[in-house]
A and B are shown apart, each in its own frame.
Chain A
Amino acid sequence: MSDEVLSVKNVYVSYGDFLVLKDISLEVKEGEIVLILGANGAGKTTLLKTIAGLLRPIKGEIRFLGKRIDGLHPYEIVKMGIGYVPAERDLFPLMSVMENLEMGAYIARARKQKEERLRFVFELFPVLKERKDQLASTLSGGEQQMLAIARALMTSPKLLMLDEPSFGLAPKLLPKLFKTIKQINLEGTAVLIVEQNVRQTLSIADRVYVLENGSIILEGPSDRIRNDPLVRKAYLGI
Chain B
Amino acid sequence: MGRITLEKVQKKFGEVEVIPPLDLTIEDGEFVVFVGPSGCGKSTLLRLIAGLEDVTGGEIRIDGQPATNLPPAKRGLAMVFQSYALYPHMSVRKNIAFPLKMANMPVEEQNRRIETAAKALNLTDYLDRRPGQLSGGQRQRVAIGRAIVREPSAFLFDEPLSNLDAALRVGMRLEISELHKKLETTMIYVTHDQVEAMTMADKIVVLRAGHIEQVGTPLELYHTPRNLFVAGFIGSPKMNIIGGETAARHDAMHIGIRPEHMEIVESGGTFVGKVGVAEHLGSDTFFHVHLAEMDEPMTVRATGEVGLRYGDTIHLTPQADKIHRFDKKGLRIA
Whether chains A and B associate is: no
Q: Which residues of A contact B (CB under 8 A)?
A: none
Q: Which residues of B contact A (CB under 8 A)?
A: none
